[in-house]
Amino acid sequence: MEFFERFAVPNPNPAIYASMVAIVVVSLAIIIGLTYFKKWGYLWREWLTTVDHKKIGMMYLISALLMLFRGGVDALMLRAQLSMPDNKLLDPQHYNEVFSTHGIVMIIFMAMPFIFAFMNLIVPLQIGARDVAFPRLNAISFWLFAAGAMLFNISFVIGGSPDAGWTSYFPLAGTEFSESVGTNYYMIAIQISGIGSLMTGINMITTILKMRAPGMTLMKMPMFTWASFMACVIIIFAFPVLTIALLMGTTDRLFATNFFTTTNGGMDMLWANFFWVWGHPEVYILILPAFGIYSEVISTFSGRNLYGYKSMVGSMVIISLLSFLVWTHHFFTMGQGALTNSIFSISTMAIAVPTGVKIFNWLLTMWKGKIRFTVPMLYSVGFIPLFTIGGVTGVMLAMSAADYQYHNTMFLVAHFHNTIIPGVVFAMLAGLTYYWPKMFGFMLNERIGKWGFWFLSIGFVLAFFPMYITGLNGQARRMYTYSEATGFGPLNFVAFIGAGLMAIAFCLIVYNIFYSIKHSPRNVGDDPWNARSLEWATHNPVPEYNFARTPHVASSEAFWDAKKHGHELFKGEIEEIHMPNYSGVPFIMGVIFFICGFSFVFSLWIPAIVSLIGIFACMVLRSFEKDDGRLISVEEIKATESKFESAEEIKTAVSTYGGANS
Partner 1 sequence: MKLKGTLLLLLSMLVVFLSGCEPLLVLDPKGPQAERQASDIMISIGIMAFIVIVVMVLLVYMLVKYRASRLPDDYEPPHIEGNPILEGILIGVPIIIVAILSFITVKSNYIVESTPEGYEDQEPLVIYASSSNWKWHFSYPEQDIETVNYLYIPTDRPIEFKLYSFGPITSFWIPQLGGQKYAMADMVTTLHLAADTPGEYMGRNANFSGKGFAENTFTVTAMTQTKFDEWVDEVHETAEPLTEDTFEQLLEPGHLGRMTFTGTHLGFSPAPEHEHSDDEMDSGEEHKMHAEKEREMHTEHAAHE
Instruction: Report the site for partner 1 in 376-405 (rule: CB under 8 A).
Output: 381-382, 384-386, 388-389, 392-393, 395-396, 398-405
Nearer to partner 1, 388 or 640 (CB): 388
The one-letter amino acid code at 159 reads G
Computed from CA positions of residues 121, 127, 129, 133, in that sequence, does the dihedral angle turn out positive or negative? negative
Computed from CA positions of residues 493, 494, 499, 503, in that sequence, does the dihedral angle turn out positive or negative? positive
Strand ranges for 467-579 from DSSP E? 577-579
Nearer to partner 1, 353 or 517 (CB): 353
Residues 93-112, mask of contacts with partner 1 (x by CB under 8 A): x--x----------------
Nearer to partner 1, 84 or 149 (CB): 84
Window contacting partner 1 (CB under 8 A); options: 218-226, 355-363, 506-514, 605-613: 355-363
- Rounded to the nearest whole angstrom, what is the least distance from the CB of residue 196 to partner 1 in the complex? 29
Helix axes 410-420, 375-398, angle to 10 degrees: 140
Residues 587-626, mask of contacts with partner 1 (x by CB under 8 A): ----------------------------------------
Three-state SS for 534-600 is HHHHCCCCCCCCCCCCCECCCCCCHHHHHHHCCCCCECCCCCCEEECCCCCHHHHHHHHHHHHHHHH
Does residue 80 interact with partner 1 by CB under 8 A?
Answer: no
- Cα distances from 329 to residues 8, 326, 392, in angstroms, run 39, 6, 15
The footprint of partner 1 on residues 283-322 (CB under 8 A) is 302-305, 307-311
Binds partner 1 by CB under 8 A, chosen from 7, 17, 42, 177: 177
Instruction: Give CA–CA dist 477/411, Å, rounded.
Output: 9
Binds partner 1 by CB under 8 A, chosen from 236, 317, 321, 476: 476
Does residue 218 interact with partner 1 by CB under 8 A?
Answer: no
The one-letter amino acid code at 418 reads N
Window contacting partner 1 (CB under 8 A); options: 13-21, 160-168, 232-240, 247-255: 160-168
Nearer to partner 1, 116 or 156 (CB): 156
Does residue 408 interact with partner 1 by CB under 8 A?
Answer: yes
Binds partner 1 by CB under 8 A, chosen from 22, 26, 353, 619: 353
Does residue 533 interact with partner 1 by CB under 8 A?
Answer: no
Does residue 165 interact with partner 1 by CB under 8 A?
Answer: yes
Does residue 334 interact with partner 1 by CB under 8 A?
Answer: yes
* CB-side neighbour CA atoms (13 Å) of 234: 29
Q: Please return the burial class of 405, using the count of CB atoms within 10 Å of its CB with bins 0-12, 13-18 and 19+.
A: middle
- Rounded to the nearest whole angstrom, what is the least distance from the CB of residue 357 to partner 1 in the complex? 6
Instruction: Give CA–CA dist 141/123, Å, rounded.
Output: 16
- Rounded to the nearest whole angstrom, what is the least distance from the CB of residue 442 to partner 1 in the complex? 23
Give the count of beta carbons closer than 10 Å to the beta carbon of residue 513: 16
- Rounded to the nearest whole angstrom, what is the least distance from the CB of residue 401 to partner 1 in the complex? 3
- Rounded to the nearest whole angstrom, what is the least distance from the CB of residue 405 to partner 1 in the complex? 4
Is the previous residue joined to 466 through a cis bond, with omega within 30 degrees of 0?
no
Does residue 85 interact with partner 1 by CB under 8 A?
Answer: no
Does residue 10 interact with partner 1 by CB under 8 A?
Answer: no
**DSSP of 12-62:** --HHHHHHHHHHHHHHHHHHHHHHHTT-HHHIIIIIIT---HHHHHHHHHH
The footprint of partner 1 on residues 433-472 (CB under 8 A) is 454, 457-458, 461, 465, 469, 472
Instruction: Give CA–CA dist 259/245, Å, rounded.
Output: 9
Q: What angle do CA 385, 390, 395 make, to 5 degrees?
A: 120
Nearer to partner 1, 564 or 630 (CB): 564
Does residue 527 interact with partner 1 by CB under 8 A?
Answer: no
Does residue 482 interact with partner 1 by CB under 8 A?
Answer: yes
**Contact at 8 Å (CB) between 129 and 206?**
no
Hey, is 627 helix, strand or coil?
coil
Which of 634, 447, 442 has its CA nearest to residue 526? 442
Does residue 357 interact with partner 1 by CB under 8 A?
Answer: yes
